[in-house]
Structure 1
Amino acid sequence: MKRFFLTPFLVLFCFAALAQDKSLLELKYEENYTPTYNEVIEMYQLLDKTYPNASLLEKGKTDIGKPLHLFVINSEPVFDPQRIREQGKSVLLINNGIHPGEPAGIDASLQFADDMLRNKNKMQKWLENTVIIIIPAYNIGGLLNRSATNRANQSTPYETGFRGNAKNLDLNRDFTKNDSENAKSFTKIFQEWNPDVFLDTHTTNGSDHQYSVTWIPPFPDYFPPAQEKFLREKMLPQMFEKMKKGEYALTPYVNWMHRDPKKGIQMWQDAPRYSSGFASLFNSYGMMTENHVYKVYSDRVKSCYEFICSLAEFTFENSEGIITSRETGIEELLSAENYPLSYEVDTTKYSTITFKGYEASDEIIDKVTGLPRFGYDRTKPYSHEIRYYDVYNTVEEIQIPEYYILPQGWKEVIERLKLNGIEFYAISKDIFFDVEVDYIDDFGGPPQPYNGHYFHNKVTTHSEIQNLKYYAGDIIIPVRQKKIKYILEILEPKAMDSFFRWNFFDSVLDQREYFSTYGFEENALKYLESHPDFKSKFLEKRNSDPEFAKDHRAQLAYIYNNTEWAEKTCKRYPAAKIFKKFSENELKSF
């Protein structure tokens, strides 16, 4: 619902609305009630109708068939992202209800939007240099699947939505693979608005402790030096300090190294399949709140609200630094020679934080079974100095190529490149290129599907230089463009959430041609006679290996697999690399 000008009546109405002290919305989180999907949208529609500087937009479809909404709050009735960027404003995106059984962010964002628009506590000053955009409810299918029994580990609010969406996908595992319409619509929003800061609101049932809200911050080691410096010196310490001034103190997400947090916790590494990890692929500062399921619902909502306020204020106070650090970080990536693929926590480096928890015990008596279990004794609270491991080291890295070249047949991959705004050239003629190709040596995964795929969690490769023919319509992808991280993370087969790991290239793992134990005999004999050096090698193996000498098929397989008969395409990863730099004219001439 966009407005292109303000009538005098609307101007007067706007000032009247800003002067009101009472909330327009009827939120009932104090009564352990979270609104239904229809109630959520109706409340944002009311805000849209009341305030000219806010607009509720429909931004694509979801798997349930209903539109994905985006609520935009600006200092003026301008809702075009390009115009807003031209004004030099930063963009804060808040996503809610990705897991509808964790609805605190839905209520908190509604409260925040209402307070912001009526300028409670002079909050509208944050809009001077920042636009705030909110996805009211991301997993609409899950939110509509509402029940009092969806969440076995929580008693409030009384009714909540379901974790899976309309395709029974966990949407917080879908940001790179884009199986859902939700994710495709989200990607369009993300690429259109290019948020500088991104927040996804969640609830956790991990360790029991005294905090109502915990924080998964942007993972500093994912970022180039300028952004890592900004995170460690600005965002992380200031956000903890801001929350300390309010009613709800903040602690890092309790990612324990052992079940007892007293023994230390480590920073959560959010892979690109998750929303916050996906944001980092575009140098956006992506993060999650994890409210604590064992706290009363009103405290979960209020603590999430306080975090959103703190983050909006931080973005306002550091708008220029946020934008500049992102721009510098991208430039640093564009000039880098190598790129890290995997990390491990550095156990020699840690900071010390005060943690308020409960004593952990293996002797808690379960009220249902009467048997001992692991748990936390709430009669024994403590405040203890613990180690926080927030530095990770690179385990493996690759040399950054100048280009990837991909045959046009991999349409699902090319569609996702287009969706994320990746620039590439289509070859206009059949042509040979010298390329480096990866071969998949080994891969492994769980016996059961993971979010609709058989994820390859173990990948080993080796590389070869080959001269391959490509055809008109195949694409060349320049790597050194602004979205370089996304390109490397999804096209490098061993990267954490590559398209290979998510099965987009699995057909190359199949062998298409075979040899017969009797049909191959004549060709094998001809090959040995015409290649005396190989024949000598073959006979030497047969003479030195008695088991090999007795195995008819093993001998034929040796010839088949070690000669030109073997398929060069089997297990050859399709996205080949070119390290030579071409001129613009050369690229256009291919």
Structure 2
Amino acid sequence: MHRKISSHIKILYITIGLAVISIFTASAQLTPFEKSSDKNYTATYAEVTAYYQALAKQHPRQMHLFNYGSTDVGKPLTLVVLSKSGVFDPVVLKKQNKRVLLINNGIHPGEPEGIDASMMLTRDLLKDKKLPNDVVLCFIALYNIDGGLNRGVSRISQNGPVAYGFRGNYRNLDLNRDFIKADSRNALAFMQIFNTWQPEVLLDNHASNGADYQYVMTLIETQKDKQNPILADYTSKTLSPELYKRMAAGGYEMTPYVESMKEKPDSGIVAFLETPRFSTGYGAQHNVISYMTETHMLKPYNKKVYATYTFMQSLINICQRDAKKIGELKRQADAAVAKQQTYALNWGLDADKFDMITFKGFEAGHKPSDISGLQRLYYDRNKPFTKQIKYYNTYKATITVNKPIAYIIPQAWGRIIDLFRLNKVAMKQLQQDTTLTVQTYYIADYKTRSKPYEGHYLHYDVSLKTVDNNKVKFYKGDYLVYTDQPVNRYIVETLEPQGVDSFFAWGFFDSILGQKEHYSDYVFEDIATQYLKTHPDLQKKLDSAKAADTKLAKSGSAQLEFIYQNSPFFEQTYLRYPVGRLLTR
């Protein structure tokens, strides 16, 4: 009798113990966001790291953590990878025809919805055994770790959470403007992740500023006229409509990102043109289907988190459903871009074309400011409306270029070579000093922003003087880049000076804009006099120029400069763009 009671007690203790462990484990798996009483809290960097480390220990077969490079604050970038098959080698996964979905969180830590939503989603997918069969999920836990550590309430117009990170990183860079210039170590680590795992689909989670309206979430997708046509046909007709449909069914109806044509959305909204400096624009250069969620700043934080969760789950489900199709479209797009001849370098809105879409907003008006007494804008949430508005979503290429057979990059421009390596651009080095006949550009004119933008004085409105059949000496070790690659868009759009986000636009080649040699006037006067006597054609050219320009005719120094610039004494490399274009093999 005593033994039976004792055994029953042991069983009871074990049962209670297992129940306590189960309760403890379930509690431990709750995110800091979920543990907060009002769901108005976002996890700190330390909490994010600890959470994923604990989760990885519980699910070692299907979840791995990888650290890449270093951010500007000195901490590595953590990638959370979920693989149902337990394979975590990206090369093997590609051979197995698996798709890769890369989700980026916290590029702006003041917009942290994706951080908290991803923590919950990874747990639920693992706990409920709902990982997709054909899609490997890669989550960047917190991209801008630097800004995440700088915690406060700097986005004063935002409704929650109670505290959050800062937009700029440790170098005060906006990382969502850094995907081409890659000034930050964060961007270099991202490129390593992106080009190692080679996703077919990219999602970058954000929160928006701007107008007030009824939607919790708006969406940016790669602009259809800027996207590869093969991918644009699928995203515009299948993937995006399905995302809108599923989000509405999940209680989070969406609209395209709200960038008003005029002051208020009623005037119409304009499709966001995400150039290559942005994550989605960078993704488009690599033929990756790219989205950016934008939850609304004024909605309660918990709704923004759950909307982001719902969007990610919807995207995962569609990617699983269309896994084979997405893979085949990516292969087709890569092959098409490798053969493509003409590339757009800049785009402009076609304001004559628009669609009519249903929009749910709030009536807006003006009233006297309590501060200044002057008129100020306000939105009246007591007056919601549903109406048809114009959606401007057509862009035209304003500058195009035909690709050369190859570009030749002098090894002196090592930063470009390093970025090309990170982006898996195939390059060959010259094996000996060689004089090649190439097409070269001279920078004829350009404008420069008067104030720095993300650490650079951006150039724009670049005009070029093109010289064909120019014999240029290149040296052993210089780089030959053939334009028969899937990453041609990245190659062409960065190397062509007129590209909106080209390396020239970002100031990578500014040293060519400065003249290095000149002359002493009193010495060159005699040299120029003698040169004109032996070169009558230049004398005629000078006389014609003086007849057409009275300022030149009245300035001795200007005439001397004219002779100098039209003589062999003038430095041939001044304003010459150093990257050559090889037009024939």
Q: Is the contact between residue 364 and residue 377 of structure 1 (CA under 8 Å) also seen in structure 2? A: no
Shift of 1:518: 1.0
2:145 is equivalent to residue 130 of structure 1: no
Report the TM-score when normalising by structure 2.
Answer: 0.92
Correspondences of 1:183-262 after superposition (within 5 Å):
183-262=187-266
Q: Deviations over 1:517-559 (max 9, x none)?
A: 2121122112111112222333454467654343210110111
1:443 corresponds, among 436, 443, 446, to 446
Aligned match of 1:588: none
Letter in 1 for 2:217: V
Is residue 2:426 matched to residue 1:426?
no
d(CA) in 2 for partners of 1:89 and 1:328?
A: 16
Q: Return 5+ residue gaps in structure 2 as ranges.
A: 1-17
Matched, 1:548 2:540: no
Instruction: Give the aligned partner of residue 171 of structure 1.
Output: 175
Total equivalences in the alignment: 559
Matches within 5 A, 1:57-456: 57-119=66-128, 123-124=130-131, 127-147=132-152, 149-361=153-365, 363-366=366-369, 369=372, 371-456=374-459
Segments ≥4 residues shifted beyond 6 Å: 20-23
Give the drift of 1:406: 1.2
Partner SS for 2:367: strand
Distance 2:90 2:545 in 1: 68
| Distance in 2 separating the partners of 1:152 and 1:317 | 41
Give the whole-Å Cα distance in 1 for the aligned partners of 2:543 and 2:63. Answer: 80
Structure 1 residues 322 and 543: alpha-carbon distance in aligned structure 2, compared to 1, 3 A threshold: closer
CA shift, 1:133, in A, is: 0.5
SS class of match (1:489): helix
- CA displacement, residues 119-155 of structure 1 (integer Å, 9 cap, x when unaligned): 2xx633xx111010100100001100111x3222124
Q: Secondary structure at the match of 1:290?
A: strand
Please tell me the residue identity of whatever aligns with 1:177.
K
Aligned residue identity for 2:375: P
Deviation at 1:23, TM superposition (A): 7.7
Say which is worse superposed, 331-340 or 204-213, in terms of deviation: 331-340
Q: TM-score, normalised by structure 1?
A: 0.91
Change over 3 Å in CA distance of 1:40–1:544 after alignment to 2: closer
CA deviation after TM superposition for structure 1 residue 238, in Å? 1.2
* Identity value in percent: 39
Secondary structure of 1:386 counterpart: strand
Q: Contact 1:59–1:69 (CA<8 Å) still a contact in 2?
A: yes
Q: 2:467 corresponds to which residue?
A: 464
Change (3 A) 1:447 1:536: closer
Gaps of 5+ in 1: 1-12, 583-590
Deviation by residue 1:61-96 (Cα, 9 ceiling, x = unmatched): 111111110000110322111111111111000100
Deviation at 1:391, TM superposition (A): 2.1
Partner of 1:31: 39
Partner AA of 1:136 in structure 2: A
Q: Is the 1:407–1:474 Cα contact (8 Å) retained in structure 2?
A: yes
Deviates most, 254-263 or 282-291 = 254-263
- Contact kept in structure 2, 1:223 and 1:329, CA below 8 Å: no
Question: Could you say which residue in structure 2 is the equivalent of 1:4?
Answer: none
Among 488, 498, 502, which residue is 1:498 paired with?
Answer: 502
C-alpha distance in 1, partners of 2:215/2:363?
A: 14
SS in structure 2 opposite 1:190? helix
CA distance in 1, matches of 2:550, 2:272: 53
Secondary structure at the counterpart of residue 421 of structure 1 = coil
CA-to-aligned-CA distance 1:407-466 (integer Å, 9 cap, x gap): 111111111111111111111111111111111122222222111111113322121111
Residues 31 and 244 from structure 1, CA distance in 2 versus in 1: closer, same or farther, beyond 3 angstroms?
Answer: closer
Report the CA distance shift for 1:83/1:221 in structure 2 as closer, same or farther (over 3 A): same
Counterparts of 1:430 and 1:242 in 2: how far apart (Å)?
60
Superimposed CA distance per residue, residues 297-351 of structure 1 (whole angstroms, 9 cap, x where no aligned partner) = 0011111111111111111111111111111112222222211112122233322
The residue identity in structure 2 corresponding to 1:25 is: L
